[in-house]
A and B are shown apart, each in its own frame.
Chain A
Amino acid sequence: MIVIKRDGSEVAFNQQKIIDAICAAMNSTKKKGDSELAQKIADKVTRKISKLEKVDIEHIQDEVQSALMNSRRKDAAEAYIGYREIRTLKRRERSSLDKKVLGLLELTNEEVLKENSNKDGATIPTQRDLLAGIMAKDFAQTYMIPKRVVGAHNSGDLHFHDQDYSPYFPIYNCMLIDLKGMLENGFKLGNAQIETPKSITTATAITAQIIAQVASHIYGGNTINEIDRILAPYVFESFKKHYRKGLEWLYMLEKDEIEDIDISWENKKLHKKYPRCFEYAKSLTEKETYDAFQSLEYEINTLVSANGQTPFSTFGFGRGLSWAERQIQIAILQNRIRGLGRDGKTAIFPKLIFGLEEGVNLKPGDPNYDIKQLALKCSTLRMYPDIISVPKVKEITGSFKFPMGCRSFLGRYEENGEELHDGRFNMGVVTANLPRIAVKANGSEAAFYRLLDELLEVCKEGLMYRIERLKGVKAKVAPILYMEGAAGSRLQPEDTIDHLLKNGRASISLGYIGIHETMMALYGTCLFDDQELRNKGLQIVQYLSQKAEQWKEETGYGFSLYSTPAESLCYRFCRLDEEKFGRVEGVTDKGYYTNSFHLDVNKKVTPFEKIQFEKDYPQYASGGFITYCEFDSMVNNPEALEAVWDYAYERVPYFGTNTPTDRCLECGFEGEFEATNTGFECPNCGNANPKTSSVIRRCCGYLSEPSQRPFNAGKQKEVLSRVKHM
């Protein structure tokens, strides 16, 4: 007799397998096994099917099941049925997992392929990363994340972010790299021991290596906080190096003589004595700094981290006043203005953020006002830099630092009586779907807050699990972070990282989405148009902030409220809610949810009204925020952008402008390409070839090139709906 297995293959019948299965079912009960009875039942089943030439495995199992049911061991029958059900379920799960993997193989799994516009899902290293992500997520949902949280995530009540990495891996979100500590104290990278660099060229080369390494050990963005200040000492080192050469070749000094000279930028007497040498060293150092930052920009845009993508990297700069710091600021901006490659394409990474500050660079007469002008020019051409208002960030977050990645801000934290920023990180995010509970509340504010409380309990459970997963993790799992200093610590391999998580050193963030849709669902009008509704919108965010604060006090961990960027989430939540509630006017009918506290992208207001409307939110969402305005091209008009920056500086902590910075490589047109059904087209010459077009749009916090790699459907709708604010 032949048995047909589930996969269609055929094997010879073997009665012992039936006996084993029955014994296993019996053994899992309280009454335990009875091999004699098992033999009897197996004989009975065999007799029944023996006339058949071929028999299906399911048929045999049905017979075993009914024979057991008719025996005195009904308990074993139940165990056998239960066992069959679990196996069926497993098979079904397995096949859905297989489907995802197959979708990746055949490039049909849009959700996985387009979740992150920074990943080119078609390439092999990225596919390896995506494959690992599919498995990690499946495993985490089945065995790790608390069941209530998994259920809420899958139904769309909340979003437990980045499951392709965390919690399967004990890995965190985003960080400020302690580059200063690493360069000053040296560190090990792969097989090499790195000492303190002796020139800006080496310093930037090492910086690129560090960024690549760090980006492979975390899943969110990394920031070099005040890169001009951190790397300035190495510009001075280069200056000394060139000065020594100058003394040797321009003034014919002996090597021993040179050794004894105290060369420093401040040594004016020396420069008076060797004026040509000073000019020579200064000029060579400026060129070297420019070249060093050009290499760094190329490195970051060309390298692929172990996560299968260009590292999400950010440079914060602009506050340094020394000659060296100014040279770095100029080098960063001039390189960005120049663009990448022969065609001078806009660099996507690193994100640039320029710190504006009165007395430094804000007003004519400030020492770095010239650099603000350069930053303005750069921003009109390349969209970056965005700006940070230094006093506003201090006021809202308690101390000054640039954001981690695109918008996550740390709170104030002290170690040994000093403010500490670099080396700190964010442990992850869970985002609450506010519009959903607003629709469910059916116009009742009380019901909304009741549902919100319930939802926040589940969010908290998810966040606590994120922390739990990092506790007890040993330094050796990410040497670059914990042993070599990127996270500001030099631990031994077997040490745990627990102390880095506590007391607000690291943040853990509750995210939220769609204040606009939430208000539409609750009150039926756009909150922009009604002062009372504006207050109510603010109250929701204030309420979330209080919850985060309460959790912080309860647990001692750095809970904060974060305005989630929601690149793919804006689409996912809306799609799930449309499935659930149908088309709800002003809520689910647009195909996307609005980012955090942002004004509806389709609302026609002036940039100043938008800034005014959004300015009150960051003080509550102090764990992450940004305000954007949409403009026509200002390539010809940096003066206009300056007026907008100056207005924003007084009112919001973090501000970016979305202006068309598209370029036609055929006719040289700079401005805005027209979106067509098939892509983008130059309005001057009609060129629609993606290879000779540079079309850049902001997608969440970072830039993207949608002409090369299209957005997900919801994001595309959101981008197409954006109106210009003027």
Chain B
Amino acid sequence: MSLMNIADYKRFDVINGRGLRHSIFTSGCTHHCKGCFNAATWNFNYGKPYTEELEEQIIGDLNMPDVQITGLSILGGEPFQNVDGLLRLASRVRNECSGKDIWVWSGYTFEEIIADDNKRKLLSCCDVLIDGKFILEQRNLKLKWRGSNNQRVIDVKESLRTKQAVLMPL
């Protein structure tokens, strides 16, 4: 029995995060934001099971020698509702892919995440958090890396250190 399902694994992503990245989209989300760009992934059984092989591939892809890959992006679904599966991947990236950063997108806010030990553990493996639900009324395609005005791009290390959300300079 797999820990989680994966909606998609997209290599060489230039949209989600800074630099050239690989992106993993987890299945399952209970936020159900109106106007969600990826509503199919609300279902926790959507996509295919996350496997050892995929994990190996991701680690290998991040370390590919010929192409400068900046890091891994984790999107959903709601990554923080798949903490168990992601925690293993994120800590492997931390240990085995030196110099690669991790960006994560969540419908939870920074404050909600750090109030929960499990979620906080996953967050502490990441470098950048884009937080908050997508609010259709505040939709704005001109924003970098976000869909609506309420969402924030947060510097995780600095925020955890100071225990408050610190925005990344964009």
A interface with B by C-beta (< 8 Å): 606-608, 631-634, 636-637, 639-644, 646-647, 650, 667-671, 683-684, 726
Contact = CB atoms under 8 A, between A and B. Distances in A.
Nearest to B140: A684
Contact of B141 (A607, A650, A671): A671
A636 B145 contact: yes
Interface residues on B, range: 20 to 34
B66 A631 contact: no
A643 B142 contact: no
Given A640-B19, A670-B142, A608 B67 contact: yes
Nearest to B141: A684
Contacts of B21: 640
B67 A643 contact: yes
A607 B66 CA distance: 13
Contacts of B15: 632-633, 637
B141 A669 contact: yes
Interface stretch (B6-14, B104-112, B130-138): B6-14
B66 A639 contact: no
Contacts of A683: 141
A637 B12 CA distance: 12
A670 B142 CA distance: 7
8 contacts: A632-B14, A637-B18, A639-B20, A643-B67, A643-B70, A644-B20, A670-B142, A684-B142
Contacts of A632: 14-15
Given A667-B142, A726-B11, 19 more contacts: A606-B11, A636-B145, A637-B14, A637-B15, A637-B17, A637-B18, A639-B20, A639-B70, A640-B18, A640-B19, A640-B21, A643-B67, A643-B70, A646-B68, A650-B66, A668-B142, A683-B141, A684-B140, A726-B14
A726 B141 contact: no
A75 B140 CA distance: 86
B144 interface: yes
B13 to A, nearest CB: 7
Contacts of A671: 141
A639 B140 CA distance: 23
Contacts of B66: 608, 647, 650
Contact of A643 (B10, B11, B19, B141): B19
Top 5 closest pairs, chain A to chain B, by CB: A639-B19, A643-B20, A640-B14, A684-B141, A643-B68
A646 B69 CA distance: 12
B90 to A, nearest CB: 21
Chain A CB count within 10 A is highest, among B19, B68, B142, B144, for B142
Contacts, number: 57
Contact of B18 (A606, A631, A639, A647): A639
Contacts of B18: 637, 639-640
Contacts of A668: 142
A647 B18 CA distance: 17
Nearest to A724: B14
A608 B10 CA distance: 14
Given A643-B67, A647-B67, A670-B142, A637 B19 contact: yes
A726 B12 contact: yes
B135 to A, nearest CB: 16
A608 B14 CA distance: 13
Nearest to A684: B141
Chain A CB count within 10 A is highest, among B14, B17, B19, B68, for B14
Contacts of B67: 608, 643, 647
Given A639-B19, A643-B69, A631 B14 contact: yes
Interface in B1-41: 10-15, 17-21
Chain B CB count within 10 A is highest, among A632, A684, A726, for A726
Interface string B33-74: 000000000000000000000000000000000111110000
A668 B18 CA distance: 22
Nearest to B10: A726
B68 to A, nearest CB: 4
Nearest to B15: A632
Interface in B136-164: 140-142, 144-145
